[in-house]
Amino acid sequence: MADSRFTEAGTPPGLRFGEKVVVLLGGIIAGMALTVISPVLPSIEKALAHTPTDQMLVKQLFGVTTLAMVLGAPLGGFLVARAGMRRLLLGASLLFTLGGSAGYFLSSLPLLLVSRACVGISAACIQVMALTLINTRLSGVARARWMGLHVAIATMCSLAIFPLTGVLGDISWRLPFLEHLFGLAVFAAILASPVSEMPRPSAAATGTRTDEPIWKWMPWHYVFLTLFTGAITFLPTIYSPFLFRDRMGLGPSGISTIMLATALTGGASAMLYGRAMRHLSFHGAFLIAFGNAAAGMLIVTLAPNLPVMVAGFILYGIGNAWFVPNFMNSLGAKVLPHQQARAAGLVKMGQFGATPFCVLMVEPYARQFGPVTVMLLACAMAMFLFMLILIRMAAAGRSSPSAAPAQTAGH
């Protein structure tokens, strides 16, 4: 059933308390899927990898999660109209719990890959639904604020996840998998909280055909752009633990501490996104994000000591924190309410899809030349996008409609 709170003109009704819970917890779930095992990847490699193929499979424990998210993100966007948002969220949170905690008992790399695939599919579904709630219930500055809050809460959760993972990882690489039991709390919260269903399309309200094919209304350039940002986001996350180990001799707890500092500053950056969008255009926000990310990764690769390397990684995290909220905030202003879930799923598919492919491409070079090669590649990608957007802004000019401030575009 469509949400009766929507007006005839399709005016966003705002978030109820239960929907706010879903938005915040959904960000945490997606963050856990991509961060819980990252600090212990070197330890898993030492315990289970006996061949070069095994070494690649260990890194694909992260990569297969994002590959599963490639499937889970659009799947959630298309299934919500049939299964309903509440039932989809309940099923996905339960699958996240079972699939994630299974890693505690498994010693087979192929079975571990299957368990991570379950985590990826379920986490992507949950995050797409959370983002859809924001884009269908809010507009303008409120949408930007909640997009930033969604990312900030997920990032700030690392303040607990990374130290806990480090402590548990020093005891055993298996223990961090039990952190996925947090999914039971999410399951209970969704079970007790009201969640409205997606609005149905209305030809009278939109003035357009309600069965228009997706290839006509979907802004496909967003999908291609997120292929690059996915690589910029996830390749440093995968390879930085190996870089810190090889160059500075750090163990899981030391790596987790660095990621803790990065999460703290990245979360603060995301919290400021909504306020910043009162004054910035979407292009301007991207310019700041890509510039910080590129500068940070360059500092990491050239750093002569650990403090400088940590400072560079923190700067990278500040820029990285704006990618998702700016993409989804901009997307929300471009498509209709009943199209939001499918559009969000496809955009997230592009972001997640970059990672497994990039790992396969860069792993031979990383083994030969070290993880610093991967950081330089990600830096080059960020700088390329920075220059591309700068040229676009110079050509369009400040008066271009596409460069209008975000708060005026959310209707």
Q: What is the mean pLDDT of each run of 10 residues along the chain (411 residues)?
A: 45 72 84 83 85 82 83 88 84 93 88 93 91 86 90 80 83 91 83 72 50 79 83 83 84 80 87 89 91 93 89 92 88 82 85 75 81 88 91 71 43 36
Kindly report the length of the chain: 411
Query: What per-residue confidence (pLDDT) applies to 6?
Result: 44
Cβ pair 234, 355 in contact under 8 A = yes
Distance in angstroms (rounded) separating the CA atoms of residues 153 and 159:
10
Cβ pair 282, 406 in contact under 8 A = yes
- Closest by CA to 86, choosing from 16, 8, 33, is 16
DSSP letter at 5 equals T
Q: 127: number of CA atoms within 13 Å, CB side?
A: 38
DSSP letter at 38 equals G
Query: What per-residue confidence (pLDDT) applies to 397?
Result: 67
Q: Coil, helix or strand for 65?
A: helix
Q: Coil, helix or strand for 56?
A: helix
Handedness of CA 378, 170, 168, 157 (dihedral sign): negative
Residue by residue, DSSP assigns 77-95 as HHHHHHH-HHHHHHHHHHH
User: 66-105 burial string, b = 16+ CB within 10 Å, else e?
Assistant: bbbbbbbbbbbbebbbeeebbebbbbbbbbbbbbbbbbbe
CA 257 to chain centre: 21
Tokens linked to 28:
């945490």
Distance in angstroms (rounded) separating the CA atoms of residues 181 and 220:
36
Q: Coil, helix or strand for 49?
A: coil
Q: Identify the helix (H) or strand (E) that includes residue 318.
A: helix 306-320
Tokens linked to 333:
């202003």
Tokens linked to 407:
């708060």
Handedness of CA 213, 86, 354, 310 (dihedral sign): positive
Distance in angstroms (rounded) separating the CA atoms of residues 293 and 313:
9
Query: What per-residue confidence (pLDDT) applies to 382?
Result: 92
Tokens linked to 194:
């009201």
pTM: 0.75
Distance in angstroms (rounded) separating the CA atoms of residues 337 and 199:
7
CB atoms within 10 A of CB 276: 17
Residue by residue, DSSP assigns 319-366 as HHTTHHHHHHHHHHTTS-GGGHHHHHHHHHHHHHHHHHHHHHHHHHHH
Handedness of CA 279, 281, 284, 286 (dihedral sign): positive
- Tell me the pLDDT tens digit for each residue of 277-321: 988 888 899 999 999 999 999 998 888 888 899 999 999 999 998
Cβ pair 363, 54 in contact under 8 A = no
281, β-bridge pairs: 405
Q: Residue written as tokens 């409120």?
A: 142
405, β-bridge pairs: 281
Distance in angstroms (rounded) separating the CA atoms of residues 66 and 30:
10
Task: For domain 17-199+218-394, say whether CATH 1.20.1250.20 is its number.
Answer: yes
Q: Domain extents for the chain? A: 17-199+218-394
